[in-house]
Amino acid sequence: MAPVRVVVVGAGVVGLSTAVCISEALPSCSVTLVADRFSPDTTSDGAAGIVLPAEFPDIPLERQRRWFKDSFDHLLEIAQSQHSPDAGVILSSGFRRAGGLVEKRKVNSLQELSHFDLIVNCSGLGSRTLVGDTHVYPVRGQVLKVEAPWLKHFIRDGDGKTYIYPGVHGVTLGGTRQEGDWRLQVDRGEAESILERSSRLEPSLTKAKVLGEWVGLRPGRRNLKVEREAVYLQGRWVPVVHNYGHGGFGVTLAWGTALDALGLVRQCLNEKPQQAKL
């Protein structure tokens, strides 16, 4: 039997996790990952990688707890394995090992994907234009990477605006949370403010060498969206599973929402094509 052609749009932590979940669980599917940006150029690459509890106001708490727990257990397993420094690499090599295909290009409209049997949308902030979701908005975040190997513990101030997160490749100092701000260039004044605020929390940082500066746009949304629908493309209904809008919690929740997206993909495949409208 011909494989079911599934396309996942987006190669950030959400798209990669979803593509891996589908490829591993559904060998009858051929999964293609399409994105205009891959690692190390996605928002996910710059995230500090801290697991923080999120709260989305209109999503049942039970569902949110499951996303968190599934993701936490998965991340803990990676952290305790010998591959922990290469967690991101594991995700993409895991996808390729499971037979996944990769295409680097921008998708301007879902119409371009009409030759697939099922579309999974993990385009993050890109969903604003790709599927016209005006509820998704940028939450700009600027950080600095510094060399301070003597720091072993993280520090976060009360409102979470200033933080010091030691990681494998340096220490991340942050940050900013600017809703609706699309600027991707580094702001000098903000960089100085971050350094000044974090040095007040940890004075030894005045000795640290700055390794780099980075700006990312979190895919903000009042409620993260993991839902399915059907879209009429080139004369037929094609099921679309959405998984985007993780805001500042993409690393924290990606695996859990990927498992939910996998469940929705299964539902779509178990239905007859003409019923896929629901």
Ligand X SMILES: Cc1cc2nc3c(=O)[nH]c(=O)nc-3n(C[C@H](O)[C@H](O)[C@H](O)COP(=O)(O)OP(=O)(O)OC[C@H]3O[C@@H](n4cnc5c(N)ncnc54)[C@H](O)[C@@H]3O)c2cc1C
Binding site for ligand X (CB under 6 A): 9-15, 34-37, 42-44, 46-50, 52, 106-107, 122-126, 130, 141, 143, 174-175, 216, 218-219, 244, 246-252
* Residue number with CB closer to ligand X (122 or 171): 122
| Minimal distance, residue 102 CB to ligand X, in Å | 11
Between 148 and 215, CB nearer to ligand X? 215
Residue closer to ligand X (CB basis): 6 or 34 = 34
Phi, then psi, of 102 in degrees rounded to 5: -130, 135
DSSP letters spanning the chain: -PPEEEEEE--SHHHHHHHHHHHHH-TTEEEEEEES--TTSSHHHHS---------TTS-HHHHHHHHHHHHHHHHHHHTSTTGGGHHHHHHHHHHHTT-EEEE-----GGGGTTSSEEEE--GGGHHHHS--TT-EEEEEEEEEEE-TT--S-EE-TTSSSEEEEETTEEEEE---EET----SPPHHHHHHHHHHHHHH-GGGGGPEEEEEEEEEEEE-SS-EEEEEEEEETTEEEEEEEEE--GGGHHHHHHHHHHHHHHHHHHHHHS-GGGTT-
Smallest gap from residue 45 Cβ to ligand X (A)? 7
- Conformation bin of residue 234: beta by default, left when phi > 0, alpha when psi is -120 to 50: left
Closest approach, Cβ 270 to ligand X, in A, equals 26
- Least Å from the CB of residue 3 to ligand X: 22
Query: To which residue do tokens 């500090």 refer?
Result: 48
Beta carbon of residue 72, minimum distance to ligand X (angstroms, whole number): 11
Q: In this complex, which beta carbon is closest to ligand X, that of residue 39 or of residue 271? A: 39
Write down the residue that tokens 């239905």 correspond to.
Answer: 271
| Closest to ligand X by CB, 30 or 44 | 44
CB of 247 to ligand X, least distance (A): 6
C-beta of 26 vs 143, nearer to ligand X? 143
| Min dist. Cβ of residue 136 to ligand X (A) | 10
Neighbours of 18 (CB within 10 A): 32
Of 175 and 239, which CB lies nearer to ligand X in the complex structure? 175
